[in-house]
Amino acid sequence: METIKGKYILIAGATGGIGSETARLLAASGAHLFLTGRNASKLAEVAASCKLDGNAFHACDLSKPGEIAGLKEKYFSAYPAIDTLINTAGIGVIKTTDQLSEEEFLTTLMTNLYAPYALLRAFLPAMKEQKKGLVIQVPGVLGKVPMAGAAAYSASKYGLVGMMQSIREELKRTEIRFTNLFLGGVDSTFWDHIDLRVQRDKMITAAEAAKTIWYLCQQPQSGVISELVLQPFNHQAI
């Protein structure tokens, strides 16, 4: 199994429910963490809870072309390499097509599809140089099974899955692993902005979702977990 101790790990979406729990678990396992999120004060709080100094986090809006250049610069001035990229940044807009605005559609694509692309564009070259690395994306089960009212979200997550499959083909002769984590409902701040009747107490906890990512960071050295599905007992879509 791969070890976490001493690994250089970037977590995008570290201010979120899943990302912040993951950060704390990986910090406790001895990783060299670098965190990013949009909300600067929340990011500083999460970084402090992981005992990181000011060089190991950087706030930016990943949906905006150009902002990732600053993240890359700050990351590589803190650390010499990147072993693992965990992308837990994302938004959920769950609306029927007649309620969904063009702006919401585009923002969803920019956050859930463009941002993962831009992160890979910034950090894959270093992994290619090392000929080794691990990328974990979180498409969610709506990136595998569509749901009514999720046209924008599913488009972004299906796009993410397609993009990752293509990049996996591109790099299959390297030791860079690509893992898609398909999560069902996770009780996190994600649902605070979604106008839908859901049973949050029946969802997976953010802490359990984070433990799954922690486990994925330690996948077998001779193989790859290309995908993993974790969904609540009472709502199994797959």
Ligand X SMILES: NC(=O)c1ccc[n+]([C@@H]2O[C@H](COP(=O)([O-])OP(=O)(O)OC[C@H]3O[C@@H](n4cnc5c(N)ncnc54)[C@H](OP(=O)(O)O)[C@@H]3O)[C@@H](O)[C@H]2O)c1
Distance CA 146, CA 209 (A): 21
Beta strands (DSSP E) in the chain are 8-12, 32-37, 57-59, 84-87, 132-137, 175-183, 186-187, 204-205, 227-230
- Under a CB-based contact definition with an 8 Å cutoff, are residues 177 and 217 in contact? no
Give least dist CB 76 to ligand X, A.
Answer: 19
Is the backbone of residue 149 left (phi > 0), alpha (psi -120 to 50) or beta? left
Q: Which is nearer to ligand X, 82 or 141 (CB)?
A: 141
CB 81 to ligand X: min, Å: 23
Residue among 108 and 219 whose Cβ is closer to ligand X: 108
- For ligand X, the closer of residues 1 and 162 by Cβ is 162
Least distance CB 49 / ligand X (angstroms): 14
Residue 139 Cβ, how far from ligand X at the closest point, in Å?
A: 7
In angstroms, the CA 142 to CA 67 distance is 27
CB-hemisphere CA count at 13 Å for 72?
Answer: 15
Chain residues that interact with ligand X, rule: CB under 6 A? 13, 15-19, 37-39, 42, 61-63, 88-92, 111, 138, 140, 183, 185-186, 188-190
CB 165 within 8 A of CB 122: no
Q: How far is the CB of 204 from ligand X (least distance, A)?
A: 8
Distance between the two ends of the chain, CA-based, in angstroms? Answer: 28
> Between residues 13 and 159, which has the closer beta carbon with respect to ligand X?
13
- Least distance in angstroms from the C-beta of 131 to ligand X: 28
Q: CA 51 → CA 10, 108, 131, distances in Å?
A: 15, 32, 30
Please say which residue, 172 or 195, places its beta carbon nearer to ligand X: 195
Cβ proximity to ligand X, 111 vs 212, nearer residue: 111
